Structure 1
Amino acid sequence: MSRLTLARAMCAFALLATLHAFAEPALNVQTSWIGNTFGFGDGAWTQINITALAVSPDGKVYTNSPWDESGAEASVYQNGKMLGFAGGTHGWGNSGGNAIAINKRYAYVAVGVGNEKGHLVGQGVWPDKGRQWYGISRREIGDTKRVAAFQAAVSSIDPHAKAAAAFAMVNDVPTGTRGDINGLAASDTTLYASNTSQNRIEVYDAESMQRKAQWSVPAPGRIARAGDGSLWVLTDTLGDKPTVAHLDASGQRLKDGLPLPADTVAIDIAVDPQGRVLIADNGPRQQVLFFSKRDGGYALSSTLGERGGIFSGVAGKPGPQRFNGLTGVGVDARGNVYVSTNGIGPRFEPTGAGLGATLESYAPDGKRVWQVEGLLFVDGAWMDPSRPDSVYTGNKRFTLDLSKPAGQQWTYAGFLTNRFRYPDDPVFNTDQWPGLPIARKLKGRTFLFLTDMYADHLKIYRFDGGRDGETATPSGFIAGRERAVLKVPNAPKGGDWIWRDSNGNGQFDADEFTPNTTGTHLAGGWGWWVDTNGDIWRARDSKGINRFRFGGLDAKGNPVYSYADMTSYPVPPPFSEVKRAIYDPQTDSMYVTGYTAEAPFDRGFWKEVGRVLVRYDKWSSGNPVARYTLPLPWDTKAKPVSTLIGLTVEGKYVFAVEPVGTVHVYSKDTGTPVGTMQPGPEVGHASGWVDVPNGISAYRRDDGEYLVFVEEDARGKVLMYRWKPASNT
């Protein structure tokens, strides 16, 4: 860039800095959302993961899970409504768990207690540094926020000490060691707990919480108490094929076990009012299996759910009885069946928190009565370039009907991940969450590009609706650092490689990887962007910008990218570091954000887009011209902090979002501030922390209205703003 061009840019910088001195007006927007049954307008939301449930006779469903971003790990639902959550299972060393049981007085919740790397200190309240507790928190059945103490509190005023007085520590283990309680069942007098890692079931007095007995059982899991006082228990649950044991009230094994089908993966168990034993099968069947007593034993008598679940018929199409990753089953006194799913099953890793929690109720005749959904976490949304009113997220598709009220405008239309057909899908081998979407139509076909939460690598998916339904088939992958891809099958050592599914089977075969041999290590940088021509751009901090040119489609329909067809651009002036680079092929314009000598990088805010935005025209000419230089919001001492975490360009505007969810809108042509968007009453004026590099996208509709999508992790959804500029621009 010439000194004259740079001088003009700095003059423009000073002018726009003056404009920023004036408050940006609030834009007239409607706030809506996708992915959660409830929007938090009334304080309710569906938790993002459910790994266990217990059902009261009157149909209240008590849930548990290791993690919900806003603390609803243990929640209560009835008749399609969230009644509340227990609290005390999130933060200050606390976590939820994988088991829950109830009796007439109490809810017993499996929990974990840590010490935040030794920062929490209190005898009897937190474990010693380097240790982790697993145990049971007892709550009042009528209000699970109220702890039901069974021992004296260490302090009468410390709320954490009060919670500790209602906590039974079962395992005290070194940090990083598993000691979860993976099954609970209760009568009015007795509590049964599966101490899985210790190969035993422990028996407690339900009132005093004193241990009365223990029974040797190999890796026990879920427990169901039958009407005669006997117990049905899942055993060998740390392996791939759990089995079922029937124990009498003294823990002796009975001989009438269940004849599970060979491909069954039993993950939960219940007994209905008729005495039938229900098994939640998370194997290929994806069904609830009913076993009835017959000829002195038990036989499979019926099922609930389509065989194959969501993967049958049109793979990935959700609907009644199309289960997806069963985690729990329960029954009320009227025979209504309740099923929880999370897209994968009750894995110990938190992957399920990104694949979508669903809780459903079915009448005895199999008709679905109600459901609640919490489908999104660390996720964004991007309009489908091939279908109107169709939206992709990291591993789902939704349809929109904007004629409906806010919050009712979305319908869950597709689950994109098929672990049975494509077990190598990097969703299971790289991240805890699917990733942030960019959808592009190339050569007449739609492709989905996903960045991970830390912008380390880029996943590429293709679609073949005729063969795979809604499933997104693994198609390509550009790796970053080695650590993030260690579990990718057959991957070369060191990271920094490209994979393409050259034989079309969706598996990571050893001969499909191309290591980077350019001599320059390309890992690192926060800015991934895929332009409308299919070129992939990456902003790499002080190392400039890389461009992988779209090389067309191979014989199997995969987009082709290679190190041989990559262009590297130096850091353009006035930047010292570039954090995002968004290229518009239609105008040959590049929008770069980052830091300059006058507005330097702050290592305490390492995900941000930076403090300056420059639009360059004639980018491909070799002599780009800075049209304007725009100072971006940057006040790290504000409460909450005021910086920008993500941006996108669409129509005539640049849209940028702060970590707390405020969206700033600028004229794309001039850089002039236009206004801001804030969460409205529809979502309780609330947004969680936006903490990913691609947490915002926008789409201009044919009538000039803009849809702006923003990540909203706090309560399991993506915010959707609807904005119609005063002039049709």
Structure 2
Amino acid sequence: MSRLTLARAMCAFAFLATLHAFAEPALNVQTSWIGNTSGFGDGTWTQINITAIAVSSDGKVYTNAPWDESGAESSVYQNGKMLGFAGGTHGWGNSGGNAIAVNRRYAYVAVGVGNEKGHLVGAGVWPDKGRQWYGISRREIGDTKRVAAFQPIANSIDPHAKTAAAFMRVNDVPTGTRGDVNGLAASDTRLYASNTSRDRIEVYDTESMQPKAQWSVHEPGRIARASDGTLWVLTDTLGDRPKVAHLDADGQLLNDGLPLPADTVAVDIAIDPQGRVLIADNGPRQQVLFFGKRDGQYSLTSTLGERGGIFAGVAGRPGPQRFNGLTGVGVDARGNVYVATNGIGPRFEPTGAGLGATLESYAPDGRRLWQVEGLLFVDGAWMDPSRPDSVYTGNKRFELDLSKPPGQQWKYAGFLTNRFKYPDDPVLNIDQWPGLPIARKLKARTFLFLTDMYADHLKIYRFDGGRDGETATPSGFIAGRERAVLKVPNAPSGGDWIWRDTNGNGRFDANEFTPNTSGTHLAGGWGWWVDTRGDIWRARDSKGINRFRFGGLDAKGNPIYSYADMTAYPVPPPFSEVKRALYDPQTDSMYVTGYTPDAPFDRGFWKEVGRVLVRYDKWSSGNAVPRYTLPLPWDTKSKPVSTLIGLTVEGQYLFAVEPVGTVHVFDRDTGTPIGTMQPGREVGHASGWVDVPNGISAYRRNDGEYLVFVEEDARGKVMMYRWKPAPRA
């Protein structure tokens, strides 16, 4: 019997046993998590992005952002707790925004309303096909889930129509055109809204929501109302250096502006009980600037925050007053200051949603009173191979203390992206999110490899703690399709190139690219894997498996990879398409997953690992031997769907995760199913959709316990399962 025939026979036999193979027991695991102050065990979590805040006199913080995966774009926090969220800002054409204001009766939330490419139809509820609305949703201040209607409801039993009755349309624009409300302020009688793209501030009655006035202001943004009825407004906000204007109650410009330092990037403005003007500065200072008035003129009197923020001293190390990407500032009646950050600032692209939201409260003397964090999105975790109890995610590092209760076992230890020193970092330019991590120790140095959400390309980072602190320095890049890398500076056309930072400056210089001239286009495929020796493997569907061999380190400490030192392997039998290829150099074993003629590919499930797993031994001999063939969970008719989307190997086991978060464990030597892991009560028995190809990793500790990390997009965290298998007989 030929190897191909034998492998097909083994596969067919295994499928006959499928029903028995997956009667897997639930394993005894502890559920924990990293990256979010709250894990959803009590129904709360910290949202993944905050781009605007409003603070009530009693210290409640009302937030807004364009996106939170589970609909908490507009939330309420107090004393380090999430009190609830508004809802109606996510799905069914709805989105959050970049402004929010409160008075004694209402919260006014900047929102967007679309029509899902014309699929949502309803007069007054959704815009016409090809159109997008931007405006303001009015909510009850005591419970922001309750809309405060100010116009007739088109359909009293339709919840979307009820929400529409509390929505004031400010701009009706073609789809793809910006028309956001980027600033709001409210008194008990007047609501002020920055219509940025129309160069005006619009004034409305807070009860009837009828227009009262409009003032010409160039690119207005955030607004703060002083106790004397005057308004402080950020202007020129679509440029690199916003300015500050002071307007009287009738919108006339006053001649007492703020002397902003030259490198200030003003992103928000507030007034404290002493009448001081606070500016959130997202420039190199990363501080809140306080301006007081003396002899009729304003001057900079004090600051909140360490100068340089998280990039000062040991770059990337978080801590009190080490701000990172300021987006909002507010003050309560006691003078407590509230600061929101998201790792980048209030950019209009979605990048901030992946760099981590933080909301902090500071007493007038500068003491931090509380903090909440929602630090992760479309992210995984991988243990640091150089330090115990250290974990990398896409652009952060965490430290573990497993003696603490679930959810308290992590500490935010490092922010890896330094946009001021390394502005070419692909995290900032080409990806919406940092990427899924694989950390390897090569030649006594640690490197971080990141795959993007769609497995198009691979980013490589090096570390130099003595020079760069926690920062991960861009070191290498293996490109895929042209469209995905169009924004990489100086890149050759066509994609399909390798970049290496040969001069060590972390910039994408034109002479550092090597195009693929082999004649075989290598883009495509979902399976990236970096083995413990540093070789990079890519499974390429029906085109086989490619291996980039680790060629050591260059003079600047970058790992060397080249097309000249690449090996191409054909699709091994019994496969017709290969989706993942995980190689273990210690045993010379290859774990391949994908589809076979008997278990074919379904294009409706294109991210999955496939329906079959085969372990091959003696892979490097050129005559690999299949050890076993394992049918994988595959029921696309079930609700929720049961397939596998991620796979990893560690210690004695293979770990695979379903899109709904269920983890399957198999013995790596025999393929025998061991059991499953499910989210526990600590996280409300809930997990979001695992939506990335490398969303699972595992680590065996010295005492035999396994830590299993799983992407959990829904509520801004990474799951961490703790499992200690019984000693083997």
What is the TM-score normalised by the length of structure 1?
Answer: 0.99
Q: Is the 8 A contact 1:87 1:145 kept in 2?
A: yes
Q: Is the 8 A contact 1:279 1:288 kept in 2?
A: yes
Aligned to 2:205: 205
1:602-621 superposed Cα distances (whole Å, 9 cap, x missing partner): 00000000000000000011
Aligned to 2:232: 232
1:552-597 superposed Cα distances (whole Å, 9 cap, x missing partner): 0000000000000000000000000000000000000000000000
Alpha-carbon distance in structure 2 between the residues aligned to 1:16 and 1:350: 43
Aligned to 1:693: 693
Do residues 57 (structure 1) and 50 (structure 2) align? Answer: no
Alpha-carbon distance in structure 1 between the residues aligned to 2:231 and 2:429: 37
Correspondences of 1:124-143 after superposition (within 5 Å)? 124-143=124-143
1:321-375 superposed Cα distances (whole Å, 9 cap, x missing partner): 0000000000000000000000000000110000000000000000000000000
Aligned to 1:73: 73
Correspondences of 1:613-628 after superposition (within 5 Å)? 613-628=613-628
Alpha-carbon distance in structure 2 between the residues aligned to 1:9 and 1:594: 13
Correspondences of 1:453-492 after superposition (within 5 Å)? 453-492=453-492
Q: Is the 8 A contact 1:13 1:628 kept in 2?
A: no
Q: Is the 8 A contact 1:6 1:626 kept in 2?
A: no
Aligned to 1:709: 709
Alpha-carbon distance in structure 1 between the residues aligned to 2:586 and 2:380: 25
Q: CA deviation at 1:125?
A: 0.3
Q: Is the 8 A contact 1:191 1:204 kept in 2?
A: yes
Alpha-carbon distance in structure 1 between the residues aligned to 2:2 and 2:273: 83
Alpha-carbon distance in structure 2 between the residues aligned to 1:369 and 1:3: 70
Q: Is the 8 A contact 1:318 1:415 kept in 2?
A: yes
| 3-state SS, counterpart of residue 427 of structure 1 | helix
Alpha-carbon distance in structure 1 between the residues aligned to 2:543 and 2:15: 28
Return the letter of the residue paired with 1:389: D
Correspondences of 1:315-354 after superposition (within 5 Å)? 315-354=315-354
Q: Is the 8 A contact 1:46 1:82 kept in 2?
A: yes
1:300-327 superposed Cα distances (whole Å, 9 cap, x missing partner): 0000000000000000000000000000
Do residues 683 (structure 1) and 680 (structure 2) align? Answer: no
Return the letter of the residue paired with 1:440: R
Aligned to 1:606: 606
Aligned to 2:516: 516
Alpha-carbon distance in structure 2 between the residues aligned to 1:307 and 1:429: 25
Q: Is the 8 A contact 2:4 2:574 kept in 1?
A: no
Return the letter of the residue paired with 1:511: N
Aligned to 1:10: 9
Correspondences of 1:551-562 after superposition (within 5 Å)? 551-562=551-562
Correspondences of 1:18-417 after superposition (within 5 Å)? 18=17, 20-21=19-20, 23-417=23-417
Return the letter of the residue paired with 2:528: W
Q: CA deviation at 1:15?
A: 4.3
Q: CA deviation at 1:428?
A: 1.2
Return the letter of the residue paired with 1:551: G
Aligned to 1:649: 649
Q: CA deviation at 1:16?
A: 6.7
Structure 1: runs of 5 or more not aligned: none
Q: Is the 8 A contact 1:667 1:674 kept in 2?
A: yes
Return the letter of the residue paired with 1:367: R
1:24-70 superposed Cα distances (whole Å, 9 cap, x missing partner): 00000000000000000000000000000000000000000000000
Aligned to 2:573: 573
Q: Is the 8 A contact 2:7 2:573 kept in 1?
A: no
Q: Is the 8 A contact 1:5 1:625 kept in 2?
A: no
Q: CA deviation at 1:23?
A: 1.4
1:156-184 superposed Cα distances (whole Å, 9 cap, x missing partner): 11000000000000000000000000000
Q: Is the 8 A contact 1:575 1:595 kept in 2?
A: yes
Q: CA deviation at 1:10?
A: 3.0
| 3-state SS, counterpart of residue 307 of structure 1 | coil
Alpha-carbon distance in structure 2 between the residues aligned to 1:489 and 1:640: 42
| 3-state SS, counterpart of residue 17 of structure 2 | helix
Alpha-carbon distance in structure 1 between the residues aligned to 2:31 and 2:188: 47
| 3-state SS, counterpart of residue 136 of structure 1 | strand
Alpha-carbon distance in structure 2 between the residues aligned to 1:650 and 1:527: 17
Q: CA deviation at 1:294?
A: 1.2
Alpha-carbon distance in structure 2 between the residues aligned to 1:59 and 1:434: 33
Q: Is the 8 A contact 2:110 2:182 kept in 1?
A: yes
Alpha-carbon distance in structure 1 between the residues aligned to 2:460 and 2:604: 31
| 3-state SS, counterpart of residue 590 of structure 2 | strand
Alpha-carbon distance in structure 2 between the residues aligned to 1:278 and 1:437: 38
| 3-state SS, counterpart of residue 406 of structure 1 | coil
Alpha-carbon distance in structure 2 between the residues aligned to 1:702 and 1:17: 38
Alpha-carbon distance in structure 1 between the residues aligned to 2:160 and 2:709: 38
Structure 2: runs of 5 or more not aligned: none
Q: Is the 8 A contact 2:113 2:126 kept in 1?
A: yes
Q: Is the 8 A contact 1:455 1:525 kept in 2?
A: yes
Return the letter of the residue paired with 1:540: R
1:4-30 superposed Cα distances (whole Å, 9 cap, x missing partner): 575267336624752642510000000
Alpha-carbon distance in structure 2 between the residues aligned to 1:644 and 1:461: 29
| 3-state SS, counterpart of residue 542 of structure 1 | coil
Return the letter of the residue paired with 2:338: Y
| 3-state SS, counterpart of residue 156 of structure 1 | coil
Alpha-carbon distance in structure 1 between the residues aligned to 2:672 and 2:416: 39
Alpha-carbon distance in structure 1 between the residues aligned to 2:483 and 2:186: 43
Q: Is the 8 A contact 1:9 1:627 kept in 2?
A: no
1:414-455 superposed Cα distances (whole Å, 9 cap, x missing partner): 000000000000001111000000000000000000000000
Q: Is the 8 A contact 1:10 1:629 kept in 2?
A: no
| 3-state SS, counterpart of residue 428 of structure 1 | helix
Aligned to 1:443: 443
Alpha-carbon distance in structure 2 between the residues aligned to 1:277 and 1:145: 32
Alpha-carbon distance in structure 1 between the residues aligned to 2:466 and 2:447: 15
Moved over 4 A (4+): none
Alpha-carbon distance in structure 2 between the residues aligned to 1:535 and 1:296: 67
Structure 1 residues 615 and 17, CA, compared in 2 at 3 Å: closer, same or farther? farther
Alignment RMSD: 1.0
Alpha-carbon distance in structure 1 between the residues aligned to 2:272 and 2:2: 80
1:123-153 superposed Cα distances (whole Å, 9 cap, x missing partner): 0000000000000000000000000000001
Q: CA deviation at 1:726?
A: 1.1
1:169-201 superposed Cα distances (whole Å, 9 cap, x missing partner): 000000000000000000000000000000000
| 3-state SS, counterpart of residue 170 of structure 1 | strand
Q: Is the 8 A contact 1:17 1:631 kept in 2?
A: no
Return the letter of the residue paired with 1:570: P
Q: CA deviation at 1:286?
A: 0.1
Alpha-carbon distance in structure 1 between the residues aligned to 2:713 and 2:510: 36
Aligned to 1:533: 533
| 3-state SS, counterpart of residue 511 of structure 1 | helix
Return the letter of the residue paired with 1:569: Y
Q: Is the 8 A contact 1:704 1:728 kept in 2?
A: no
Alpha-carbon distance in structure 2 between the residues aligned to 1:414 and 1:722: 23
Q: Is the 8 A contact 2:18 2:631 kept in 1?
A: no
